Amino acid sequence: MTKYIIRGGKPLFGEVEISGAKNAAVAIIPAALLVDGVCRIENIPQISDVTLCLKILEQLGANIRTINRHAVEIDCTHIHSTRTNYDLSRKIRASYYLIGSLLGRFGEAEVAMPGGCNFGGVRPIDQHVKGFTTLGAKVMVEGGFIHAFSENRRLKGANIYLDVVSVGATMNIMMAAVMAEGNTVIENAAKEPHIVDLANFLNSMGANIRGAGTDTIKIRGVDHLTGGTYAIIPDQIEAGTYMAAVAAAGGQVLVKNIIPKHMDCITAKLVEMGVSVEEHEDTLLVRRTDPLQKTNIKTLPYPGFPTDMQPQITTVLSLAQGTSLVTEGVWNSRYRYVDELKRMGASIQVDDKTAVVEGVDHLTGAPIQAYDLRAGAAMVIAALAARGESEITGVQYIERGYEDIVEKLRSIGADIRAVEEPDETLESGVG
């Protein structure tokens, strides 16, 4: 069991390199199951969720060759099973992508029900199931597994209208449909950068997908996909997290290897709060010297403000002058971390989906707990800005999605260290 000790109150200065996008990687790795041949995937983040995805594929018979820290070759030519390892796949939410990819390639998938939710509320997959059944599959739950299969093995293209804008359902249906017979249209599709990344990956392997990044995605089924090389996009949320850290702690940091367009929704809000953000080709120079100003934020599907930045930005707002309103527009609830911020002196009242954040002059260090990945990132930001020392437990959640976070923060002047503690059991989280 690792915990982070952070001595806060020090502004951050220097440069930080952003890794490949977690939520693209955890879809693109399962998508390699659709490919007959070797896929070389580059710019893979070194995070525990990726390690898990690769292990699951290996158990299904994939041949995985590590090229270097950020590149692997995956060969799914000789997959021998369509049933995933129960213990591995139930640990990670993104294992639901194995349903779409196995079903799309082999006409059958048995995948452990994705783990429960750890930021409150329900995380249904009814829209994924609606997509698979519309494509002609039967889907049932048996012994803790979701069993999806198509009697004719090959699915049949269809028109699918999503009742809610769902990232997971959009990507899962895309995977299932890529080798279906005929054409598929996904309406009311999600538009996140990782949707476009998955489509680009599949197209580079021979798929025919158009419209990814708009709300209508058109897929013309192809007979098979062949190998190739693909590099994952930079992680919008990791970049936003470092930007938020500079906003909260002060200082000036060059955030490198990003796609500025993907950052617009986050940049706009930080600028409203008085943070200076200068855009260059694939970098952003983030500077905060003056006091932070209040603003209101509502999370929405892309290109709206991302829900995966909500805990981090609320933490920054807890230090802004005035009262800000934060509204969660994607999930039913995502405010479990607020009680931890209150331990540090934040003044936040949560009423259903809205948090009323009354800015305070400063936070003070405290023992705090990371309850999930982004809540954990928020704890790190709070601790970096706070006066005194904080001790963060539950950091295994943070390490699911942030590559080398301790080293990256140290390189920009943060006083953070990871220490090993005797074991303590925590429920497993989901990404």
Q: How far apart are CA 425 and CA 377, in angstroms?
A: 20
Q: Is 141 in the site for ligand EPZ (CB under 6 A)?
A: no
Query: CB of 349: closest distance to ligand EPZ in angstroms?
Result: 23
353 binds ligand EPZ (CB under 6 A): no
Using the rule CB under 6 A, give the single segment among 12-20, 121-129, 136-144, 254-262 that binds ligand EPZ: 121-129
Member of 116, 124, 291, 322 binding ligand EPZ (CB under 6 A): 124
Residue 217, beta-bridge partner list: 186
Q: At what angle do helices 167-177 and 97-106 cross, to 10 degrees?
A: 10
- As given in the structure block, the two tokens for residue 138 are 């039967």
Q: Is 169 in the site for ligand EPZ (CB under 6 A)?
A: yes
Quick check: 104 and 177 in contact, CB under 8 A? Answer: yes
Stretch that binds ligand EPZ, among 8-16, 118-126, 403-411, 413-421 (CB under 6 A): 118-126
Interface with ligand EPZ in residues 9-48 (CB under 6 A): 23, 26
Q: Which of 6, 18, 33, 94 binds ligand EPZ (CB under 6 A)?
A: 94
Residue 125 touches ligand EPZ, criterion: CB under 6 A: yes
- The residue of the chain with the least Cβ separation from ligand EPZ equals 168
CB of 38 to ligand EPZ, least distance (A): 25
Nearer to ligand EPZ, 52 or 60 (CB): 52
Which run of H or of E encompasses 199?
helix 193-204
Q: Should residue 236 be labelled a site residue for ligand EPZ when binding is judged by CB under 6 A?
A: no
Candidate residues 6, 373, 382, 398; the one interacting with ligand EPZ per rule CB under 6 A: 373
> Cα separation of 233 and 123, whole Å?
26
Active site residues per annotation: 117
CB 245, min distance to ligand EPZ, A: 17
Task: List, in sequence order, the alpha helices (H) in 254-404.
Answer: 260-272, 310-317, 338-343, 373-385, 395-398
* Cis omega (within 30 of 0) for bond into 234: no
Which positions from 44 through 83 interact with ligand EPZ, judged by CB under 6 A?
none
The single-letter DSSP state of residue 322 is S
Indicate the helix (H) or strand (E) that contains 249: helix 236-249
Q: Both ends of the chain: CA-CA distance in Å?
A: 19
Stretch that binds ligand EPZ, among 57-65, 162-170, 274-282, 406-414 (CB under 6 A): 162-170
One of 331, 337, 371, 397 touching ligand EPZ (CB under 6 A): 331
Amino acid letter, residue 128: H
431 is an interface residue for ligand EPZ by CB under 6 A = yes
Residue list 293-312, contact with ligand EPZ (CB under 6 A): 307-308
Backbone angles phi, psi at 51, to 5 degrees: -55, -45
Maximal C-alpha separation, the chain: 64
Judged by CB under 6 A, the residue of 374, 390, 395, 409 near ligand EPZ is 374
d(CA 207, CA 200): 9
Read off φ and ψ for residue 229, nearest 5 degrees.
-120, 140
For residue 93, state whether it binds ligand EPZ (rule: CB under 6 A): yes
Crossing angle for the helix pair 22-31 and 236-249, nearest 10 degrees?
170
> Which span (29-37, 71-79, 160-168, 385-393) binds ligand EPZ, by CB under 6 A?
160-168
Are 245 and 409 in contact by the 8 Å Cβ rule? The answer is: yes
Which of 127, 184, 236, 295 is the binder for ligand EPZ (CB under 6 A)? 127
Separation of alpha carbons 22 and 29, rounded Å: 11
Contact range with ligand EPZ by CB under 6 A, out of 161-169, 203-211, 254-262, 420-428: 161-169
Residue 117 binds ligand EPZ (CB under 6 A): no
| 121 CB neighbour count, 10 Å cutoff | 12
Q: How many residues does the chain have?
A: 431
- The contact set with ligand EPZ (CB under 6 A) reads 23, 26, 93-94, 123-128, 164, 166-169, 190, 307-308, 330-331, 373-374, 401, 431
